[in-house]
Chain A
Amino acid sequence: MKAIIVMSASDNVGNAIEDIVKGDTVAYEVDGERRQFTALADIPFGFKAAVKDIALGGDIVKYKETVGRAAKPIRVGECVHIHNVEGKRGRGDLTEVQA
């Protein structure tokens, strides 16, 4: 059993506080309730795992706030990082319409 920390119940990601390997059972607690899922990828210490399914373009929520949007559909247990998330702010590479 491996552990992640989910900062708030409305978050859809949590941070690994140990090195998680694909196939590990991962547990976390929100609002006093213990939940678990199976890791679909390696999630090293400090990296994020999805604790809810996130649709393409959906908000990534951490600290009850939006920290980016899904660049691909993301399933519970996947690693959430630059390969499947993009930022919304400071996007000099996009025109305003795209942003």
Chain B
Amino acid sequence: MTFWGYVRPDGSVGIRNHTLIMANGRGAANLAALLTKLVAGAKCFVQPNENGRDAEDRKTIARTIVGLARNPNVGAVLIVGNKKNGGYPEFTYEAIVGEIEKSGKPLDTLFMADCGGFQQAVGLGMRKARTLARKASEVRREEVGLGRLSLAVKCGYSDATSGMSGNPVVGHLFDRVVEAGGTCLFSETTEVIGAEHIVAKRFTEEAERAKFLAAVERVEAEARATGEDIRTINPIPANIQAGLTTLEEKSLGAITKGGTKPIRGCLTYGEIPAGRGLYYMDSWMSSTALFLGFTAAGSVLNIFQVGGGWFTTDAMMPTANTGLVAPTLYMTGNPRTFEKAAEEMDFSSGTVITDREPIAAAGERLLGEVLGNASGRLTKGETMDVNDNLEVYLRGPGL
């Protein structure tokens, strides 16, 4: 089983070939955004402001920047800044550019202090970014094995079909990719509450299991600290109006998307896993934050498995392209959702309900769909030039 991907100098395999322009430090974000507009096909990540953030959150921002640049879907990177060094220690030249350099991919830098200011930087930055874009375009797709793929999944707009015919189908796909030697990520710590005992059993390392259980405990304590019944927050109204009753019910349906293989580790937001295999990421569930975190961790294709029972019409792409450089594949296990929104959904396993299609058979169909998208076919979301709101999962206060 193979797909056609871009083999990077570090051996990782991308399925897209973007030029990425990013600021190192919020003070140069506007320069990065402007250059992105001027260079065809370039992508930009405008980072949240690191100023007044605690070390933990600054690390998360820096990890996200480095991870996005290292993502195999990025063919070349331009890092812009005010000056080479001078900010928080997490954003030194070594910490950002030095880490990205390890990937061996084409990389250039641009500092306003070295070129006489903002307007001069625009001209020089254009030249550098256009050169990088041409360099990235020289790479050709090669046929590689399924085991070179790195995927991630999030479920959303969950309903009863999520646990019956949607998430278990992703679980089958994950098992197949992991068996082949690939990497798969799943997450959403609030939505393992009530099902954590099942997930916890599958960690191979005691220390990683402890990290996972501590994460669940932390999130439930945060939920209780609100003074509210979690049900007024999550399940979200769209879940309840579609028939999900409690967080526990939602969680038990959600965890099946992680398949059945051993879990190698519990990652923090945007953390690149140390090896191949199945990993859990401790993150907020929001589709505007989680796909970005998955992409920073190296996922080249993010699956958004939606129930969608809440929607009455074809309004089915609640977030678009929030993986920034990694496409989102929309799928549903709800036959009614697919009927309403066939133009937005890349894949349906609603047939598990309507035709009693076995989970494994639907999972094999999904694998075929994934390999097609991995080899170059655009997902439906990618055909829309939407730059959706991106959020980094930050936990500390603004100080």
Across the interface, A81 reaches (CB within 8 A) one of B161, B220, B243, namely B243
Measured as residues with beta carbon below 8 angstroms from the partner, the interface class of chain B is: 35 or more
A57–B225 CA distance with the chains assembled, in angstroms: 25
Asked if B249 and A68 sit within 8 Å, CB to CB, the answer is: yes
Q: Give the residues in chain B near A82, CB-CB below 8 Å.
A: 231, 240, 245
Across the interface, B194 reaches (CB within 8 A) one of A80, A89, A93, namely A89
Asked if B248 and A81 sit within 8 Å, CB to CB, the answer is: no
Q: Give the residues in chain B near A45, CB-CB below 8 Å.
A: 243, 309, 336
Question: For the complex, is A46 an interface residue (Cβ under 8 Å from B)?
Answer: yes
Q: Give the residues in chain A near B227, CB-CB below 8 Å.
A: 92-93
Q: Give the residues in chain B near A90, CB-CB below 8 Å.
A: 190, 193, 220, 223-224, 229-231, 234, 247
- Minimal beta-carbon separation of A4 from chain B (angstroms): 10
Number of A-B contacts (CB under 8 A): 107
Within 8 A of B (CB), among A18-63: 44-48, 60, 62-63
Question: When each residue 206-236 of chain B gets 1 if its CB lies under 8 Å from chain A and 0 otherwise, what string results?
Answer: 0000000000000010011111111100100
A68–B194 CA distance with the chains assembled, in angstroms: 9
A47–B244 CA distance with the chains assembled, in angstroms: 7
- Minimal beta-carbon separation of A78 from chain B (angstroms): 13
Q: Give the residues in chain B near A47, CB-CB below 8 Å.
A: 160, 243
Question: For the complex, is B163 an interface residue (Cβ under 8 Å from A)?
Answer: yes
Number of interface residues of A (CB under 8 A): 30
Within 8 A of A (CB), among B220-268: 220, 223-231, 234, 240, 242-243, 245-249, 252-253
Question: For the complex, is A12 an interface residue (Cβ under 8 Å from B)?
Answer: no
Q: Give the residues in chain A near B164, CB-CB below 8 Å.
A: 5, 7, 15
Closest to A66 in B: B248
A62–B195 CA distance with the chains assembled, in angstroms: 12
The main secondary structure of chain B at its interface with chain A is helix
Closest to A90 in B: B230
Asked if B224 and A80 sit within 8 Å, CB to CB, the answer is: no
Across the interface, B252 reaches (CB within 8 A) one of A48, A65, A93, A94, namely A65
A86–B230 CA distance with the chains assembled, in angstroms: 11
Question: For the complex, is B175 an interface residue (Cβ under 8 Å from A)?
Answer: no
A17–B350 CA distance with the chains assembled, in angstroms: 11
Given contacts A7-B164, A46-B159, A87 and B247 within 8 Å (CB-CB):
yes
- Minimal beta-carbon separation of B236 from chain A (angstroms): 13
Closest to B224 in A: A92
Question: For the complex, is B378 an interface residue (Cβ under 8 Å from A)?
Answer: no
Closest to B195 in A: A65
- Minimal beta-carbon separation of A12 from chain B (angstroms): 13
Question: For the complex, is B353 an interface residue (Cβ under 8 Å from A)?
Answer: yes
Asked if B194 and A67 sit within 8 Å, CB to CB, the answer is: yes
A45–B246 CA distance with the chains assembled, in angstroms: 17
Given contacts A80-B245, A82-B240, A86-B246, A92 and B225 within 8 Å (CB-CB):
yes
Q: Give the residues in chain A near B353, CB-CB below 8 Å.
A: 5, 17
A87–B252 CA distance with the chains assembled, in angstroms: 13
Given contacts A17-B353, A46-B159, A46-B161, A87 and B246 within 8 Å (CB-CB):
yes
Complex A-B: 19 CB contacts under 8 Å: A5-B164, A7-B163, A16-B160, A44-B243, A45-B336, A46-B334, A60-B246, A60-B249, A62-B249, A63-B252, A66-B194, A67-B248, A82-B245, A86-B231, A87-B194, A87-B247, A90-B231, A92-B226, A93-B228
Given A67-B245, A80-B245; 6 other pairs, CB 8 A cutoff: A15-B164, A63-B163, A82-B245, A90-B224, A90-B230, A91-B230
Residues of B within 8 A of A (CB): 159-161, 163-164, 190, 193-195, 198, 220, 223-231, 234, 240, 242-243, 245-249, 252-253, 307, 309, 334, 336, 353
7 A-B pairs with least C-beta separation: A90-B230, A87-B246, A47-B243, A67-B249, A46-B160, A46-B243, A90-B223
Residues of A within 8 A of B (CB): 5, 7, 15-17, 44-48, 60, 62-63, 65-68, 80-82, 85-94
